[in-house]
Amino acid sequence: MTKMMNNNKSTTHSSLLILFSFLLLSPCVFAQLTPNFYKVSCPNAEKIVKQVVKEEFAKDPTITAGLLRMHFHDCFVRGCDASILINSTSNKPSEKTAGPNLTVRGYELIDEAKRRLEAACPSKVSCADIITLATRDSVILAGGPNYAVPTGRRDGLVSNPDEVDLPGPSQSVTSASETFIAKGMTLNEMVVLLGAHTVGFAHCNFFSNRLSNFQGTGQPDPAMDPVLVTKLKTLCAAGSNPKVFLDQNTSNVFDNEFYRQIRLKRGVLKIDQELASDAASSRLVSTLASNPVQFSRSFGNAMTKMGRIGALVGKAGEIRKNCAAFNPRPKIYISSILGDVEKITE
């Protein structure tokens, strides 16, 4: 585990040299996120975000789960560029209208933080950084680890529902891991990040296929504890597509109980349950189940890494004034040869 995550530390001198010359040649591609990026441009930025999270968490401690999932979905579609926040318009659907978006929550918290940040330092702090910082702050409040969040992300200029291609809950561990590997994350990091399912909810439509006639057998999924099957059947029968806790024991606490629950056949999503039995993940699951300190450390490291996926930096993208909408394009006026003025809107 630790070995896999520290691979990059074994970089040799010669590859460092190559990397260094590359950096000189293409500063934009490799521009970096930095700790406390807003130190000069908006010194209270991180404090302001933390305060908003604190207030929202006091009203609704499940906000941690909403933000974690929002951050994951943002980073896995086009990179951590806040593209997930863009509202659809009448002629342009956005990521929000794609299937898996369903039920992503926490938008109001981001809007409130943005409102206060625009009042304190207009057009300085990106929505992408707000999501990343707010997620970290909310994880701490729920009992989870603190971890590094370097900043300096910029907001993307594209939000396209056709690009939303997230793993589904009934996919196998190996097949879901391909999505992670394509983003530069490892299978082990996926196992660790799925520990986020220690908080929050799943709607019944995401797992009801496990409760009866699983894969045409006429029986529930044998990998689920029959006591849990009965309980979930009852919960899911009450209302239209209700939601249940992903961690059936310490539901609102950010801890390693998720791994202990799946080892007791008490995982709700099929993929969560398979982490405990699949040869590719079961050993790590048993380590994380018995070692909360290792879970905290690995989770923090994997979150810092996820927060770098496809981040826009430098002059790329923009700093949105309103997280739900792209900034209005400046109108460009150019004089034609005939001397009259043409308005170009794009």
- Chain residues binding ligand HEM by CB under 6 A are 62, 65-66, 68-69, 72, 103, 105, 167-169, 176, 193-194, 196-197, 199-203, 206, 243, 246, 269, 271
Q: Which is nearer to ligand NAG, 126 or 301 (CB)?
A: 126
Q: Output the smallest distance, CB 98 to ligand NAG, in A.
A: 6
Judged by beta carbon distances under 5 to 8 A according to partner kind, the member of ligand HEM, ligand NAG, none in contact with residue 271 is ligand HEM
Closest CA to 188 of 172, 202, 174, 205: 174
Q: Report DSSP state, residue 329.
A: P
| Active site members | 73
Beta-bridged to residue 318, according to DSSP, are: 155
User: Does 160 sit near ligand NAG (CB under 6 A)?
Assistant: no
- One-letter amino acid for residue 195 of the chain: G
249 near ligand NAG (CB under 6 A):
yes
Q: Output the DSSP codes for 147-170.
A: ----B--BB-S---GGG--PPPTT
What token pair was written down for 303? 């979150």
Residue 251 partner contact from ligand NAG, ligand HEM, none using kind-dependent CB cut-offs of 5 to 8 Å: none
The answer to whether the beta carbons of residues 167 and 182 sit under 8 Å apart is: no
Q: Which stretch binds ligand NAG (CB under 6 A): 38-46, 66-74, 306-314, 318-326?
A: 318-326
Nearest to 110 by CA among 127, 87, 88: 127
| Shortest Cβ 267–ligand HEM spacing (Å) | 12
Q: Which does 96 bind (CB under 5 to 8 A by kind): ligand NAG, ligand HEM, none?
A: ligand NAG
Secondary structure letter of residue 325 according to DSSP? B
Contacts for 93 with CB less than 8 Å, ≥ 6 apart: 161
Q: Which is nearer to ligand NAG, 33 or 98 (CB)?
A: 98
CB of 231: closest distance to ligand NAG in angstroms? 12
Contacts of 221 (CB under 8 A, 6+ apart): 210, 211, 214, 229, 270, 273
Q: Per the structure block, which two tokens stand in for 186? A: 């490892």
* Amino acid at position 304, single letter: T
Name which of 167 and 267 has its Cβ closer to ligand HEM: 167
- Scan residues 48-107 and list those touching ligand NAG (CB under 6 A): 87, 96-99, 101-102
Residue 277 touches which of ligand NAG, ligand HEM, none (Cβ within 5-8 Å per kind): none
- Write down the least CB distance from residue 86 to ligand NAG, Å: 9
Residue 3 CB, shortest distance to ligand NAG, in Å, is 28
Considering the rule CB under 6 A, would residue 218 count as an interface residue with ligand NAG?
no
Residues 6+ apart with CB under 8 A from 7: none
Q: C-beta of 199: minimal distance to ligand HEM in Å? A: 5
Taking CB within 5 to 8 Å according to partner kind, which of ligand NAG, ligand HEM, none is near residue 65? ligand HEM
The yes or no reply on residue 257 touching ligand NAG (CB under 6 A) is yes
3-state secondary structure of 49: helix
C-beta separation of 220 from 211 below 8 A: yes
Two tokens at 254? 């950010």
Q: Total binding residues for ligand NAG by CB under 6 A? A: 13
Q: What residues are paired with 335 via a beta bridge?
A: 341
Query: Which residues would be at the binding site for ligand NAG (CB under 6 A)?
Result: 87, 96-99, 101-102, 249-250, 257, 322, 324-325
